[in-house]
Structure 1
C-alpha cells in the first residue's frame, strides 16, 4: 500500500518589541532548544488562529497576527536511539508577526516550555547552536528586512471551521 507523504503544518509567531524578539526555551529530543513560539496547526482552525493559540499556550500572552512574514519548508532527520525509531519529518511553517497582548493571569506555559526570553537579533544569531530549527533565525531576518504579506493572502474555507 502506498502512503501519501504529507508535511507537518506549523505556525510561528515572530514577536518583536523594543529591538528584541520573544522566544521560548523548550525541551526537545536534542535537549533544551530555543524557538519562536510555534506549534502544529490544529483541526478546525485557520492559520492565523492557530498562531494566536500557539503563542498564548507557549508564552501566556495573547497575540494577534497582523501579517504573514513568510512560508518556510524544512526537514528534520533524527536517527534512531534509546528505543525510538528514526524520524524523517518535513515541516511547512507559516510565520506571522503581530501585536503582543497582555499576559493571561493564572495561565501556565505549555508542557515542554521551560521559559520565555527576549533576545536581540545579534543574540539570536550568536545562539544558532541552540536553535530548534534554522527557521528561527531565517524568519527573524525576514522580519527585520520588512518582509510582510497581508493576511488576506490566505483564505480558510468555511468547511475547515465546521
Structure 2
C-alpha cells in the first residue's frame, strides 16, 4: 500500500454563541474571570460537539445567569480574532427574551455575577468588555436586525432529514 502524506492541519475557528437578552432598556450581562482578570460579556460560550446552535445559546445563558430565555431571532454572525488567545472566533448572536430566573442555580465557575445594564452602562465598561462583538450585537439589535431562527439548519446524525 502506498504511503500518503499526512493531511495538512485544518484551520478551525472557535464557534461560539451569545445572547442579547433585553428587558426594556437593560441587557443581561455577566462579569467573568478570564485569564486572571475580570471582564464583562453577554451570556456566551462555545458550541459543544453534537449540539445545535440554538441549544447552545439556551444552555450557555442558563449556565451563566440562571435565566431561562426564549430565542427570538438571529442577530448576526460575527468573525473576529480574539485578543485573549489569538484564535479566530465565529460568533452567532441571538436575541432572546427572559422567561424565568432561578436565583438558587449555581453559575459556571468563572462567572462572578449576572447583572442587567443599560447600553450606556455597557459602553462605559470600555476595555473591560471581553470583545467588540458585545456592543456590535446590541447595536444591530437596536437598529432592528432580526433574522429568522430557521435560517440556521441542522441535520441530525447521519444526515437524514
Normalised by the size of structure 2, how large is the TM-score? 0.89
Checking the alignment, whether the CA contact within 8 Å between 2:23 and 2:97 is kept in structure 1 is no
SS of 1:49's equivalent in the other structure is helix
| Dislocated runs of 4+, deviation >3 Å | none
1:90 to 2:88 alignment: yes
Deviation, structure 1 residue 99:
2.0
Q: Which residue of 1 aligns with 2:156?
A: 158
User: How far apart are the structure 2 equivalents of 1:95 and 1:77?
Assistant: 19
What stretches of structure 1 of length at least 5 have no aligned partner? 79-86
Residue 28 of structure 2: which of 22, 44, 56 is its match?
A: 22
Is residue 26–residue 116 contact of structure 2 (8 Å, CA) maintained in 1?
A: yes
SS at structure 1 position matched to 2:87: strand
User: For the residues of structure 2 that align with 1:18 and 1:38, how far apart are their CA atoms?
Assistant: 20
Whole-Å separation in 2 of the counterparts to 1:108 and 1:34 = 18
98-107 vs 119-128, which moves further: 98-107
Whether the aligned pair in 2 keeps the contact of 1:44 and 1:161 (CA below 8 Å) is: no
Q: Distance in 2 between matches of 1:44 and 1:107?
A: 25
Tell me the distance in 1 between the aligned counterparts of 2:102 and 2:122: 26
d(CA) in 2 for partners of 1:65, 1:128: 27
Instruction: Return the alpha-carbon distance in structure 2 between the equivalents of residues 153 and 100 of structure 1.
Output: 22
Question: Which residue, out of 2, 6, 10, partners 2:16?
Answer: 10
CA contact (8 A) 1:23 1:35 kept: yes
Give the drift of 1:105. 5.2
Unaligned runs of 5+ in 2: 1-5
C-alpha displacement at 1:106, in angstroms? 3.2
Change (3 A) 1:49 1:118: same
State the match for 2:75 in structure 1. Answer: 69
User: Which residue number corresponds to residue 144 of structure 2?
Assistant: 146
User: Normalization by structure 1: what TM-score?
Assistant: 0.89
| Number of residue-to-residue matches in the alignment | 154
* Candidates 111, 115, 119, aligned match of 1:117: 115
Give RMSD over aligned pairs. Answer: 1.8
